[in-house]
């Protein structure tokens, strides 16, 4: 059933709903936040609702439940919390930039000094100091030899201690083997940043930061949701604010009526950035490769200059601008193509690639030196230049926001299996051409892999706890089996 609420501007209430399940049976629905509600006409599908903390002048109101097709397997729309960050560039002057540098330096000092205490404690007692102990130390530092910390907002310093506490917990978490022990932050080798969890105000194209005041920024788009915190950071010669918001939204329904168009399989590659199961492909951007020679020349000039001199700092800024240009071009490329795919396809199936292992160095050790080190190094550079990991991560959360499904399958034998006869052998005569030795089927190797990835995804989603409900166009009920949900969504596949 889909829930529709008719409303006008009033205020925000917390609602507790229940639905009629039969004789004397009522099931409580999830507590949701509904904004702008007002009385509507009675209907046989309406249900009463209990209102907490309502204003006395507000009359009774109802929510309509319109029955569509009983194929979703769900009684109500599901809600999810979306946290987004909106990044804008600040309009600063020399005075504001001086304060931002000062506060970033104070946070870096607190991080390094707290980390030194943690290492000392681990070496002696093998015990991590809790956040409360470090917060008490911070108060003593302000009174003793680090009185300059009083100039920085206290909550930003406390937030730095929380970041360190979180980093230490992650480092000792066995469920996160890739997390490493935190390191000291150097002045010229770390990102200048600090976070304001409270005490900020946003009005149009300006923001009020603690102990700084109102600062204007380039308001390029509307921020949706309730602002929770603000992070100030420096990138190159510019300062940015990142406003994290939180909003409660309804998970949309995206049924699949045409499996050829709504379900897509993708194969990641180097010659082709991405090949789809329908035969289309995307050429790679290679943003690093295009500027690699220019970056190498700039780094050679930097090595010839005296360290920390004026010319050295100017050359370092040029190198920083090149890195920013490469990263921005890659991010723009990935964001655009992931958005297009998420909007056009309800189900996206990709390979579950272990990119960390694929890009591992082949140098080896002195006793066991690696083989084909130069060739493997070029391969690693090309894979990292494509941004596979970031692209798959973008597809994951964009599909979740839009109500779609992003599923990853085992990549084994996807490029060696014939999609016509299912024969698995050394059918890939060359890197680009697939030719089945059993039935003679010939096609591009990446296209064949994408077809097999899609087939694997449909098979996995259609079996076990994840079942695909088959129905014909115009039918209001499934053909073969009862519909079930995949995570938060139900998937319907037309033959």
pLDDT score, position 261 = 81
Which is catalytic among the residues 446, 460, 473, 475? 446
pTM of the model as a whole: 0.76
Residue 38 pLDDT: 35
How many Å apart are CA 367 and CA 241, to the nearest integer?
49
Q: How many residues does the chain have?
A: 495
For 456, the token pair is: 């694997």
Buried b (16+ CB within 10 A) or exposed e, 15-30: bebeeeeeeeeeeebe
Ranges under pLDDT 70 in the chain? 1-77, 427, 463-495
267 is catalytic: yes
Contacts of 147 (CB under 8 A, 6+ apart): none
* Cβ neighbours of residue 458 closer than 8 Å, sequence gap 6 or more: 259, 263, 349, 468, 493
Considering the candidates 267, 278, 473, 475, report the single residue annotated as catalytic: 267
Q: Could you confirm whether 446 is annotated as catalytic?
A: yes
What angle, 0 to 180 degrees and rounded to 10, lies between the N-to-C axes of helices 94-124 and 131-143?
120
Q: Check residue 395 and give its pLDDT.
A: 96
Nearest one of 68, 57, 37 to 49, comparing CA atoms: 37
Q: What is the pLDDT at residue 77?
A: 53
- Say which of 165, 192, 262, 351 is annotated catalytic: 351
d(CA 440, CA 38): 67
Domain ranges of the chain: 2-67, 86-250, 259-283+336-493
Q: Over 265-324, what HEC string results?
A: EEEECCCCCEEECCCCEECCCCHHHHCHHHHHHHHHHHHCCCCCCHHHHHHHHHHHHHHH
From the list 458, 396, 418, the residue with the least C-alpha distance to 264 is: 458
pLDDT of residue 446: 92
């Amino acid at each position: 059933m889909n829930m529709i609420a008719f409303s006008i501007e009033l205020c925000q209430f917390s609602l507790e709903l229940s639905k009629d399940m039969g004789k004397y049976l009522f099931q409580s629905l999830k507590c949701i936040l509904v904004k702008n509600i007002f009385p509507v006409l009675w209907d046989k599908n309406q249900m009463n609702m209990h209102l907490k903390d309502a204003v006395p002048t507000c009359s009774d109101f109802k929510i309509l439940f319109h029955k569509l097709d009983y194929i979703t397997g769900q009684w109500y729309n599901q809600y999810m919390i979306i946290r987004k960050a909106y990044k804008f560039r600040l309009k600063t002057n020399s005075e504001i930039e001086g304060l931002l540098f000062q506060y970033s330096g104070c946070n870096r000092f607190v991080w390094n000094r707290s980390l030194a205490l943690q290492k000392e404690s681990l070496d002696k007692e093998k015990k991590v100091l809790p956040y409360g102990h470090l917060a008490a130390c911070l108060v003593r530092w302000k009174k003793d030899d680090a009185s300059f910390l009083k100039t920085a907002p206290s909550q930003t310093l406390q937030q730095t201690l929380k970041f360190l506490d979180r980093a230490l917990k992650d480092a000792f978490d066995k469920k996160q083997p890739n997390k490493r022990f935190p390191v000291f932050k150097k002045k010229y080798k770390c990102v200048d940043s600090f976070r304001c969890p409270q005490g900020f105000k946003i009005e149009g194209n300006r923001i009020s930061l603690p102990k700084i005041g109102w600062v204007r920024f380039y308001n390029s788009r509307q921020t949706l949701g309730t602002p929770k915190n603000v992070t100030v950071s420096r990138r190159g010669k510019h300062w940015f604010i990142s406003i994290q918001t939180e909003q409660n939204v309804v998970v949309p329904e995206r049924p699949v009526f045409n499996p050829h168009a709504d379900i897509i399989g993708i194969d990641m590659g180097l010659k082709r950035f991405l090949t789809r199961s329908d035969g289309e492909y995307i050429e790679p951007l290679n943003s690093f490769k295009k500027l690699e020679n220019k970056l190498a020349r700039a780094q050679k000039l930097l090595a010839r200059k005296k360290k920390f001199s004026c010319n050295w700092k100017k050359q370092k800024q040029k190198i920083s601008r090149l890195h920013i240009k490469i990263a921005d071009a890659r991010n723009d490329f990935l964001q655009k193509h992931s958005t297009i795919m998420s909007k056009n396809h309800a189900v996206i199936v990709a390979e579950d690639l272990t990119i960390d292992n694929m890009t591992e160095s082949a140098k080896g050790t002195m006793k066991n030196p690696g083989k084909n080190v130069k060739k493997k190094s070029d391969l690693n550079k090309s894979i990292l230049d494509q941004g596979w990991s970031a692209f798959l991560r973008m597809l994951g959360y964009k599909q979740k926001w839009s109500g779609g499904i992003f599923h990853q399958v085992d990549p084994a034998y996807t490029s060696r299996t014939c999609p016509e006869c299912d024969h698995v052998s050394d059918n890939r005569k060359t890197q680009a051409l697939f030719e089945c030795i059993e039935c003679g089927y010939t096609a591009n190797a990446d296209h064949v892999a994408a077809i097999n990835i899609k087939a694997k995804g449909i098979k996995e989603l259609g079996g076990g706890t994840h079942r695909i409900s088959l129905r014909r166009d115009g039918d209001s009920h499934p053909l073969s089996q009862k519909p079930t949900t995949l995570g938060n969504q139900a998937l319907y596949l037309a033959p």
